[in-house]
Amino acid sequence: MGLFSFAKRKTDDATVTHPPTDDGAFQIRSTLNPALSIPELMTNTTVSACVSLIADAIAQLPINLFRRTSTGRYRAVDHPLYQIMKSEPNPEQVSFTFIQQLLSHLLLRGNAYIYTARASGMNPLVQAMYALDPDKMKIKRDWSTMELLYYYTVNGTTYTYTRDQVLHIPAFVLNGLYGLSPLEYSAHIAKTGVELDEYVSNYFNGEFRSKLLIDVPEGKKWTKDNTKEWTEYLRAVHMGKENQGKPLFMYDGLKASALNVPSNIDSQLDTTLSRAEKEVAKAYRVPLFMLGKDDAKFTNNEQANAFFLQMTLQPWITRLEKYFARLIPAYERDYLYFEFETNAMLRGDQKARTEVYVKEITTGMSTLNDINRRENRPLLPPEIGDIRFIPVNMMPLTPENVAAYMAAQKAKMEELAAGKVTITSDKKDDKAEE
């Protein structure tokens, strides 16, 4: 049995012969990797806020599979991929958590991997999708065939997959096979933020606010073991929240005094924390007002959402749409495509939407059912809800009415040409008046 019971090839880690790979990818990752695990990165509130904000915002957007035809586009509800992507990618997850997991991998590790369980046959369709842990995946290129192989290690066992089985979605790619997360090409930002959080935590957890100078009486024998013993004693008895306010007792003639070394670290702590937060937000291209760190410069939520969508979310949305297209069989890619619905983010208030809808209906741009779909309302019968109107006494825009209108206009033009109709003007002849 293979991983997920779908693996075709399984090899032991000791017997795997890895082909050559692109060394540049590993050099970049080793240089820029902050050496922090995902749980460690998520302990930084700014990192977790940015990741959650982007991942949740995109995961809650509806995603549809559309079929392009000569008369327009329609939801391909009859296609197996439609329900898999829209509602249940696998028996263990719904679409929201699946997309959320993929984005968290992209935002924190720069790579998302999807194992695709396919049906057997000449044109195997995707039956289920599973997100794989990017930290357990290695990519190798077989230079004899130029094919990429994916080595996924779980509990000491390595499973080997091909591109037909694993869909790899990289984030920012420089010159290797792996993508880089926003934090990987600005690693110092994440490390600084985590270290500042640790500093603040230690500060309020009862650490000494300044270094202690221990004065040993002259002539007293003092060894390294004594230093270690006293250091452990001070940490155990006088540090921590539970020991705050307790008196400090010194023995054997030792004296303790605070070593007040001039430092502006504490005085600038708030400024330093604020700068670290801004740098993390810049790495993820998240506006500060979305993190509650600045006032929005927009007059309404619609403008703010449009800015957030265009500058922050759209690159990630486009990346997912383009790579999801590889899940579609090659012979169907000319007319099938995935698309996230972003219109909900751009909705104005009720008054503004009503004004727009009235204009669309009275100019024939939209039907009543088009509006009902946007507002998630019940649809009207087709003979009423799917009819378009034009602003000629709000006449239904049907082929019969259009033909009648054009015939009437043609008749008027013929009468005008025959001289049966005269054109009157309200303008007076200035010369006649003179």
Question: Given this model, what pLDDT does residue 409 score?
Answer: 79
Paired residues of 131 in beta bridges? 114
Question: Given this model, what pLDDT does residue 271 score?
Answer: 76
Question: Given this model, what pLDDT does residue 24 score?
Answer: 42
Q: Dihedrals φ, ψ of 249, to 5°?
A: -100, 135
Q: Which two tokens stand for residue 128?
A: 């289920």
In the block, which residue shows the tokens 């007040």?
Answer: 260
Q: What is the mean pLDDT of residues 148-153?
A: 95
Q: Which two tokens stand for residue 375?
A: 């507002």
d(CA 59, CA 63): 9
d(CA 90, CA 5): 13
Each domain of the chain, given as residue ranges in start order, spans: 19-206+278-348, 210-260, 349-390, 397-421
d(CA 83, CA 64): 9
- For the stretch 367-414, pLDDT in tens is 999 988 877 788 888 888 888 887 766 667 678 877 887 888 788 888
d(CA 239, CA 233): 10
pLDDT confidence band for 30 (50 / 70 / 90): very low
Q: What does pTM read for this prediction?
A: 0.69
Specify the range with the lowest mean pLDDT, choosing from 32-46, 161-175, 221-235. Answer: 32-46
Contact criterion met (CB below 8 Å) for 168 and 35 = no
- For the stretch 327-337, pLDDT in tens is 999 899 999 99
Question: Given this model, what pLDDT does residue 17 score?
Answer: 39
Is the pLDDT at 113 greater than 90? The verdict is yes
Specify the range with the lowest mean pLDDT, choosing from 15-19, 209-213, 309-313. Answer: 15-19
Specify the range with the lowest mean pLDDT, choosing from 81-90, 134-143, 209-218. Answer: 209-218
Q: Dihedrals φ, ψ of 426, to 5°?
A: -85, -10
d(CA 378, CA 49): 37
Contact criterion met (CB below 8 Å) for 175 and 25 = yes
> What sign for the dihedral angle of Cα 277, 278, 279, 283?
positive
d(CA 219, CA 6): 76
d(CA 220, CA 239): 26
Is the pLDDT at 346 greater than 80? The verdict is no
